[in-house]
Structure 1
Amino acid sequence: MEEQTVVQTSPPAAAPRAEQAVRQTSAQPKLSLRLAIGLIGMLLASLSAILNQQVTGLAMTDIRGALSIGHDDGTWLTVLFEAANVASMVFAPWFGVTFTLKRFASGAMLATMVLGLLCPFAPNLPALYTLRVLQGLSGGCLPPMLIIVALRYLPPKVKLYGLAGYALTATFGPALGTPLAALWTEYVNWRMAFWQVVPLGLASCAAIHLGLPQDPVKIERFRSFNWTGFLTGFPAVAMLVVGLLQGDRLDWLHSGLICAMLYGGALLLVAFLINEWYHPLPFFRLQLLSRRNFAHGLLTLAGAVVLLTSIAVIPAQYLTTIHGYRPLQTTPLALLVAIPLLIALPLTAAILNLRRVDFRWMLAIGLSLMAITCFMGSFVTSDWVRDNFYWLQSLQIVAQPMVIMCILMGVTTGLPPTEGPFASAMFNSLKTFSAAAATGLIEGVGTAREHFHSSMLVDRLGNNMLMTSQSLDASHGLGELAHRVHAQAVVLTSADLYRVMAGIALFLLVLVPLLPVRIYPPWAATQPSSR
């Protein structure tokens, strides 16, 4: 793997530079108790937004049943929320800097809580749609604030531990969604899927108000507001998310709505990116992509989110379809990954904080474990039950922290706090958009492969009349035979999805020795350039 070194061209000046570096390191601000409380509050706010997104999505079947909403209408409750959630992440850092991180984060958290309280009391479906869109907007503003705060306030020695806290929102938060959804719908009340955000939100608001410094509001930034970027970027992202999440249900490009969403969103996205390149006060600073580690981090992030989503979704879909599992019965699989992450993430941060550790090797190990997980999952059969997936999911306890922490280290190391809002906007919006793309990929590929396998199985049965006759006698009817064909098609589709994910993991693995360069922990006094 490539490693850049610093070449000393003027030896007499080396000593003064070293002394200056030592003075700067010793002058780094300490992490006070008050500031630590503020950072914990921001972490809780971000985690509550992620949990609200995950739990309401997983509990949507019970929510639709309680409110007498049909399946097709109910899908828009999730889609509209996700579209607003992703689109708001693009612009939240700009507004956070303008209105101050403390005020903006507190306001977004309060809005998320109030809207969550109101959702179960919506008088009709359009009102519920409106509330979900507004809650998606407010909730999407919270995760980007966490990276900005970490880059701005954390001392170099503990910066990676702060990023490990952010990694909880990408790993622990989604994994905890299934147990909470099962808890509320099975034992408490479906309304808790909306109201669970309140206790955590109140705690986060109190901690943010107490701990974060109060900066002056910068209303003058509106004089140079990037209206072109806002009016092209917001609808572009929202339209693409709608197209990806509704594509499988509406038959992709055979639907006029999906064509309008995907093609129109793509054109607006191109216009947005061109505008961002030239605008003096952009929402995305695309010039950051000239940093090799930053570009590699975003590319790997997109693939890693697809992998993380798929590794969680494929077993749950398989167990639900083949064995009729409810969320409560798939909860142990999610907890198996979620609980150990509370220890694995800080431990991974501690290892990466060692100067002699090359983050590229850890990233390669993590991606290799993900590829092994997907490869072993491709041998799934109809006899597999929940216990068969335990040994697959257990590999993620090691793999996920390695991959996510290495991506965060590569993206943020050497990044000045002034660039934090731009990096946060690009990182968070890409992360959430990739999750929507992963859902569309799983549904699209899964439907296509299931239709293919169903057709092949039916053809084989039709070509063997004796086998068909025996199957009919044994199963007492066509209905049971159709069920068995469908179940086998689902098993083969699950295996195919695992193979696709293994290919994505191997592609990301190949990039590791080619694109990123050697970097050192943030505390290191001398760091090579990552360009």
Structure 2
Amino acid sequence: MQEQTVEPLSSSAAARQAETAVQQPSAQAGLSLPVAIGLIGMLLASLSAILNQQVTGQAMTDIRGALSIGHDDGTWLTVLFEAANVAVMVFAPWFGVTFTLKRFAIGAMLATMVFGLLCPLAPTLPALYTLRVLQGLSGGCLPPMLIIVALRYLPPKIKLYGLAGYALTATFGPALGTPLVALWTEYVSWRMAFWQIVPLGIVSCVAIHIGLPQDSLKIERFRSFNWTGFITGFPAIAMLVVGFLQGDRLDWLNSGFVCVMLYGGTLLLVAFLINEWHHPLPFFNLRLLSRRNFAHGLLTLAGAVVLLTGVAVIPAQYLANVHSYRPLQTTPLALLVAIPLLIALPLTAAVLNIRRVDYRWVLAFGLALMAATCFMGSFVTSDWVRENFYWLQSLQIIAQPMVIVCILMGVTTGLPPTEGPFASAMFNSLKTFSAAAATGLIESVGTAREHFHSSMLVDRLGNTMLVTSQSGDASHGFGELAHRIHLQAVVLTSADLYRLMAGIALVLLVLVPVLPVRIYPPWSTAPSSR
């Protein structure tokens, strides 16, 4: 991990146009109280969008039951929301700069609240689908605004703490989803899965209105709007998300619909990326990838999101399938991670803010902990209950902040505010797309491995089944044996998924001494790196 000094990236035509659109305040001016309130409001808005996504997704079983919606139709409530949510993140930073961050964030938050209020009141299933798409569009506009605001307003001394705040949306928000699902579905009403965002949304809108400065509208930017990028990029991302999320249910490439979504989305994505490379004002500034730390950060981000999804989903699915746990019973496991993260994230930022600390070693240690956690989880047996996962999840309290904050530091250090919208579009869209892909990957691998283990167990227990069939109560014997085979297959599948996650963590760990270069905290006057 040698130190390197590199030159700043030369400004492109897109960066020069963005510079005229985003006027940055003095970086050394300090953080005033109103701006701090505005930043907190933006954090709450982003967190509310993440919670809305997590809670409605996890409460979908209760929502479908309350509205008498079948499983297949109900899957589209999540898929349509996710597709719109991911696709809009590519373009939200451009619209945020054009309509001003303050107006755009408040408008998106108000729209998310209104659509959330209307969802449980939808008279028909198509109306509910429409509301979910609209809420996905409005909610997806909020997280990208947070990085832009942080890069623009945070003084160098506390910039890492601001990035740690953003990391809450990737760690604390998803972990808090399960306790909220348990609270609303068990003690209040399934409708609160949609309505919970209203109080937090109102507070965030007031804080943003009070704190963030009011810029002037830049409607003239529509004269150079990247229509080709929008027309190719939005459907490309949406189609790929739909393909990944519906792939396991529709049997992947054996389904003509999934083939159209995946192949068509891939072709449109290639066209979008070619256009972005040549367009003077792109949504994705692909030339940022020439910065080694930026490229490494995005690559590691994709893998880290898969890891974060896996370490949350695997124990929850195991406990639900093997021991019939509902969200209420898994809440202590989720809270064990969520609450300490409020302390662990700023502590990690404080460590990284020390000039002599090399962020690459911190990142490597975090990835090693995640690999160790997944390796230990691969020894799961049918005797494991909630308490057996406590010690595994405790390591995540240390590992997750190290990984996420280091990724954010590597991506944003040395990045001027004029390039913030480009970085935000690429970072947030990749993060949410990776989460959708991770869901499809875990479901697909889990289904394949469960079928494999079930077949192997049936082959090995063939004689036992023959003996059971000769007993007096054959049907009961077959039923009991089939149940035991299913439970054991779930256990073995959970172990396989943990091994897969450990392998991903090790691959990311190998990249650390190879790709990124030494950087210093934002406050340091030392040269930054690409």
TM bin, normalised by shorter chain, reads: over 0.9
CA deviation profile, 1:31-69 (whole Å, cap 9, x unmatched): 000100000000000000000000000111111111111
Aligned residues: 513
CA deviation profile, 1:3-32 (whole Å, cap 9, x unmatched): 11489xxxxxxxxxxxxxxxxxx9711100
Instruction: Kindly indicate whether the alpha-carbon contact (under 8 Å) linking 1:471 and 1:481 is maintained by their aligned counterparts in 2.
Output: no
Which residue number in structure 2 is paired with residue 10 of structure 1? none
- Report the aligned-residue RMSD: 1.7
Q: Given residue 193 of structure 1, which amino acid in structure 2 is its aligned partner?
A: A
CA deviation profile, 1:312-368 (whole Å, cap 9, x unmatched): 000000000000000010011110000000000000000000000000000000000
Q: Given residue 240 of structure 1, which amino acid in structure 2 is its aligned partner?
A: L
CA deviation profile, 1:132-173 (whole Å, cap 9, x unmatched): 000000000000000000000000000000001000000000
Which residue number in structure 2 is paired with residue 492 of structure 1? 492
Which residue number in structure 1 is paired with residue 383 of structure 2? 383
Counterpart-to-counterpart distance in 1, 2:6 and 2:395: 37
CA deviation profile, 1:275-330 (whole Å, cap 9, x unmatched): 00000000000000000000000000000000000000000000000000000100
CA deviation profile, 1:53-104 (whole Å, cap 9, x unmatched): 0000011111111111111000000000000000010000000000000000
Counterpart-to-counterpart distance in 2, 1:372 and 1:185: 34
Counterpart-to-counterpart distance in 2, 1:323 and 1:442: 20
Which residue number in structure 1 is paired with residue 317 of structure 2? 317
Instruction: Kindly indicate whether the alpha-carbon contact (under 8 Å) linking 1:472 and 1:478 is maintained by their aligned counterparts in 2.
Output: no
Which residue number in structure 1 is paired with residue 273 of structure 2? 273
Give the alignment of 1:110-189 within 5 angstroms.
110-189=110-189
Give the alignment of 1:36-55 within 5 angstroms.
36-55=36-55
CA 27–36 in structure 1, closer or farther in 2 if over 3 Å, else same: closer
User: Could you tell which deviates more after superposition, 468-477 or 206-215?
Assistant: 468-477
Counterpart-to-counterpart distance in 1, 2:96 and 2:281: 14
Counterpart-to-counterpart distance in 1, 2:6 and 2:126: 61
1:209 aligns with 2:205: no
1:297 aligns with 2:297: yes
Unaligned runs of 5+ in 2: 8-25
Instruction: Kindly indicate whether the alpha-carbon contact (under 8 Å) linking 1:96 and 1:104 is maintained by their aligned counterparts in 2.
Output: yes
Q: Given residue 333 of structure 1, which amino acid in structure 2 is its aligned partner?
A: L
Give the alignment of 1:284-433 within 5 angstroms.
284-433=284-433
Instruction: Kindly indicate whether the alpha-carbon contact (under 8 Å) linking 2:119 and 2:132 is maintained by their aligned counterparts in 1.
Output: yes
CA 494–472 in structure 1, closer or farther in 2 if over 3 Å, else same: farther
Give the alignment of 1:17-56 within 5 angstroms.
28-56=28-56
Unaligned runs of 5+ in 1: 8-25
CA 213–472 in structure 1, closer or farther in 2 if over 3 Å, else same: farther
Superposition deviation, residue 462 in structure 1: 1.4
CA 472–173 in structure 1, closer or farther in 2 if over 3 Å, else same: farther
CA 222–458 in structure 1, closer or farther in 2 if over 3 Å, else same: same
What percentage of aligned pairs have identical amino acids?
Answer: 88
Q: Compute the TM-score of the two structures, normalised by the length of structure 2.
A: 0.95
Give the alignment of 1:456-475 within 5 angstroms.
456-463=456-463
Secondary structure of 2:29's aligned partner: coil
Secondary structure of 2:340's aligned partner: helix
Instruction: Kindly indicate whether the alpha-carbon contact (under 8 Å) linking 2:27 and 2:155 is maintained by their aligned counterparts in 1.
Output: no
Instruction: Kindly indicate whether the alpha-carbon contact (under 8 Å) linking 2:318 and 2:494 is maintained by their aligned counterparts in 1.
Output: yes
Which residue number in structure 2 is paired with residue 514 of structure 1? 514
Counterpart-to-counterpart distance in 1, 2:419 and 2:252: 38
Superposition deviation, residue 526 in structure 1: 2.1
CA 272–471 in structure 1, closer or farther in 2 if over 3 Å, else same: farther
CA 467–341 in structure 1, closer or farther in 2 if over 3 Å, else same: farther
Counterpart-to-counterpart distance in 1, 2:407 and 2:503: 19
Superposition deviation, residue 475 in structure 1: 9.6
Q: Given residue 267 of structure 1, which amino acid in structure 2 is its aligned partner?
A: L
Superposition deviation, residue 525 in structure 1: 1.2
Secondary structure of 1:247's aligned partner: helix
Superposition deviation, residue 119 in structure 1: 0.5
1:483 aligns with 2:494: no
Instruction: Kindly indicate whether the alpha-carbon contact (under 8 Å) linking 2:248 and 2:443 is maintained by their aligned counterparts in 1.
Output: yes
